[in-house]
Amino acid sequence: MWRFVSLLLLMLSASPALPGPWLREKDSAFTAASVTAFKDRDYGYDYKSALYAEWGYKENLTLGFDFEENRDLYGHATVFARLPLASFGEKGRFAAEFGVGVHHRHKGAWALYKTTLSYGKSFQTDWGDGWVAVDTTLEYRTHNALIRKLDLTAGLKSRRWIDPLLQVETAYRSGDDLYWRVRPSVMVRKPDSSTTWVLGLERNDARENTGIKVAIWGEF
């Protein structure tokens, strides 16, 4: 039981893995809300909800908020700032992100601090414009330990209504095994629309079954 709780605490700290090193244009915004449901032996079902938002405060500064909750048992909320580091044109770009927040387990709550270095690159394919982003994160929880994360996001964007998206998230804490979750999805969007629906599956090392995720993204 405690191993399962430890896995949940570790995995719940992950963000939606959406932005990578790209910053929002000044005064533009992006939001993402999602629900993921799993079968559960004890309760019949289990679910988690997430809310993510970011806003282009300046051309070189993006501010954001990240919230995730597994029922009323575990969760986190953080605010963050993203800054550009370097751009190499077609070879990609780097950005840094700094966040502070709180995470909880039942009624107990503790502070968390995180720093992320992101690399991203856009590319062209016969099926549309593609992108890939790699995020490396150090997250410190004041009552627990230092957690190291490595995340990968890749997807396509085209004039089609449906495009693929793949997210892979890993986390490691000293003395424990490497934990992971994989989320293959499809993005459904009408051309020229600012709203995208995301339908996907989620598999992670903390569960024996596969969850179903539904999300809605909006750009403003």
pLDDT digits 0-9 by tens, 102-129: 988 888 889 999 999 999 999 888 888 8
How far apart CA 21 and CA 122 sit, in angstroms, is 11
Q: Read off the amino acid at residue 196.
A: T
pLDDT in tens, 166-199: 999 999 988 788 889 999 999 999 888 889 999 9
How far apart CA 51 and CA 127 sit, in angstroms, is 30
Residue 52 contacts residue 74 (beta carbons within 8 Å) = no
DSSP, res 9: H
Domain count, the chain: 1
How far apart CA 23 and CA 33 sit, in angstroms, is 19
Query: Which CATH number does the domain housing residue 195 bear?
Result: 2.40.160.40
Residue with tokens 């989620």: 202
Dihedral sign for Cα atoms in the order 33, 39, 40, 43: positive
Residue 171 contacts residue 14 (beta carbons within 8 Å) = yes
Structure token pair of residue 151: 């995340």
DSSP, res 23: P
C-alpha separations of 215 from 28, 31, 84, 170, 211 in Å: 20, 10, 27, 21, 13
> Global pTM?
0.82
What's the residue count for the chain? 220
pLDDT per residue, tens digit, the chain (220 aa), is 334 334 333 433 334 445 578 899 999 999 999 999 988 776 667 788 999 999 999 999 999 999 998 876 788 899 999 999 999 988 999 999 999 999 888 888 899 999 999 999 998 888 888 999 999 999 998 877 789 999 999 999 888 899 999 999 999 988 788 889 999 999 999 888 889 999 999 998 767 778 899 999 999 9
How far apart CA 200 and CA 212 sit, in angstroms, is 6
| % pLDDT > 90, the chain | 54
Query: Domain containing 189: what range?
Result: 2-219
